[in-house]
């Protein structure tokens, strides 16, 4: 790690954005990045408005990735990495342009709007030789990394059941007309091939594979459109079979009235089980035979090094979503600087391809009403 902060350019994050400001806070939390420039809106006036709010000079506010690349390439203090925080339909074009221009890229999930775009982006990432990462935020939580390490070390024995649930209720009514976030997420032209499955289902899927170490091999999906008039699914129910025939269940819903962001992962093995819940992200519950339950807290002594790396405060001091997001940015900084500290921990092109294939397979399974194989990719 160097003492000099890396210079970051942000695409997206203009007035009214949710995830753009999250990227900014996370990138800057550990003083690994400084936000130096951005194309915060397609409208230059709005981009400059956001730049002024964040203390960025007007001449470093742009109206698109091409303008940002052209403006920053000629500067001694130009940006070294580009973050993508825009709707799904623009991810591919922005990532392609940034990678081919020589920038490291960190992108919001899902990686692209379509499977074809994901498959086209993969060789571009490889050919560029530049670091590429995806912000699957929940992988940045210390106790998710502790769970991953314990399963890999055989603490619960051979995995034999995986259950992941992600209920939200914010789309339980048709609010698209008045809510910009809802509008693009329910629009196939902006969101891509999946609605709820592409917005939060991929989080659940990626987390199940990330923690368990297993790959989903086949699935059958039911993706209803519960709210009348919706063009994309707003509820997801998926049965999975992982490597070795291990059964799994994934549910994700944005019409679960009253729910906020209740992501929960449970993995059961021959020796015991573990549970992690987003409502209490600093805890990992271990369940053992004879009704014995153990709760482990973030920041406690003896945690795996990957969990310690993702912890900033002593045990008992809560850390949350921004900190988990910041862990991904710290890992990304390590990648750019050539450190091996984040090796294998930070989601990248492989996770993006897996998730795109998951969405595509689930959509096709829903239409065919049958089990389908989920194509694997080389590790």
Whether 74 shows a pLDDT value over 90: the answer reads no
- Model confidence band, residue 185 (pLDDT cutoffs 50, 70, 90): very high
Token pair for 45:
């006036």
Residue 343: pLDDT band (50, 70, 90) is confident
Task: Report percent pLDDT > 90 for the chain.
Answer: 94
Place of tokens 């591919």: 92
d(CA 237, CA 367) in angstroms, rounded, equals 13
pLDDT grade for 375, boundaries at 50, 70 and 90 = confident
pLDDT at 238 over 90: yes
Q: Cα 141 to chain center, whole Å? A: 12
CB within 8 A of 56, min separation 6: which ones? 35, 36, 37, 38
pLDDT tens digit sequence for 98-142: 999 999 999 999 999 999 999 999 999 999 999 999 999 999 999
pLDDT digits (tens, 9 = 90+) for 187-218: 999 999 999 999 999 999 999 999 999 999 99
Q: Binning pLDDT at 50, 70 and 90, where does residue 16 land?
A: confident
The predicted structure's pLDDT at residue 32: 97
pLDDT band at 379 (very low <50, low <70, confident <90, very high): very low
Assess whether the previous peptide bond of 242 is cis (omega < 30° from 0).
Answer: no
Q: How far apart are CA 77 and CA 61, in angstroms?
A: 14
Q: What integer best gives the mean pLDDT of the chain? A: 96
**Phi-psi domain of 358 (left: phi exceeds 0; alpha: psi -120 through 50; beta: other):** alpha
CB count in 10 Å sphere of residue 370: 10
Short-list 90, 68, 96, 92, CA closest to 7: 68
Q: Helix, strand or coil for residue 220?
A: strand
Residue 2 clears pLDDT 70, i.e. is over it: no
Residue 378: pLDDT over 60:
no
* pLDDT tens-digit map of 267-309: 999 999 999 999 999 999 999 998 999 999 999 999 999 999 9
pLDDT at residue 171 above 60? yes
What is the pLDDT, as a whole number, of residue 342?
73
CA distance 137 to 223: 24
């Amino acid at each position: 790690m160097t003492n000099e902060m890396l210079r970051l350019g942000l695409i997206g994050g203009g007035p009214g954005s949710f995830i753009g400001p999250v990227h900014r806070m996370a990138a800057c939390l550990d003083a690994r990045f400084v936000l130096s420039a951005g194309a915060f809106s397609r409208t230059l006036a709005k981009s400059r408005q956001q730049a002024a709010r964040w203390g960025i000079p007007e001449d470093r506010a742009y109206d698109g990735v091409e303008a940002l690349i052209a403006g920053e390439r000629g500067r001694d203090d130009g940006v070294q990495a580009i973050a993508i925080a825009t709707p799904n339909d623009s991810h591919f074009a922005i990532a392609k342009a940034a990678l081919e221009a020589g920038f490291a890229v960190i992108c919001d999930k899902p990686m692209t709007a379509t499977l074809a775009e994901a498959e086209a982006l993969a060789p571009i990432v490889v050919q560029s030789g530049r670091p590429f990462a995806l912000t699957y935020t929940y992988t940045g939580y210390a106790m998710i990394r502790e769970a991953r390490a314990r399963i890999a070390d055989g603490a619960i024995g051979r995995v034999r059941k995986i259950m992941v649930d992600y209920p939200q209720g914010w789309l339980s009514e048709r609010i698209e007309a008045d809510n910009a976030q809802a509008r693009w997420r329910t629009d196939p032209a902006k969101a891509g091939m999946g609605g709820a499955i592409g917005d939060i289902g991929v989080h659940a899927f990626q987390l199940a594979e990330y923690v368990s170490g297993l790959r989903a091999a086949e699935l059958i999906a039911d993706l209803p459109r519960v709210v009348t008039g919706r063009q994309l699914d707003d509820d997801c129910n998926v049965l999975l079979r992982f490597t070795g025939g291990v059964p799994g269940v994934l549910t994700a819903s944005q019409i679960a009235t009253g729910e906020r962001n209740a992501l929960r992962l449970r993995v059961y093995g021959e020796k015991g089980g573990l549970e992690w819940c987003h409502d209490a992200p600093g805890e990992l519950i271990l369940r053992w035979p004879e009704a014995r339950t153990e709760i482990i807290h973030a920041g406690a002594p003896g945690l795996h090094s990957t969990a310690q790396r993702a912890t900033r405060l002593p045990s008992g001091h809560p850390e949350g979503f921004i900190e988990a997001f910041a862990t991904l940015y710290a890992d990304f900084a390590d990648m750019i600087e050539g450190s091996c500290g984040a090796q294998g921990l930070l989601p990248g092109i492989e996770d993006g391809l897996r998730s795109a294939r998951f969405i595509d397979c689930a959509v096709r399974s829903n239409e065919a009403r049958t089990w389908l194989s989920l194509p694997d990719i080389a590790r």
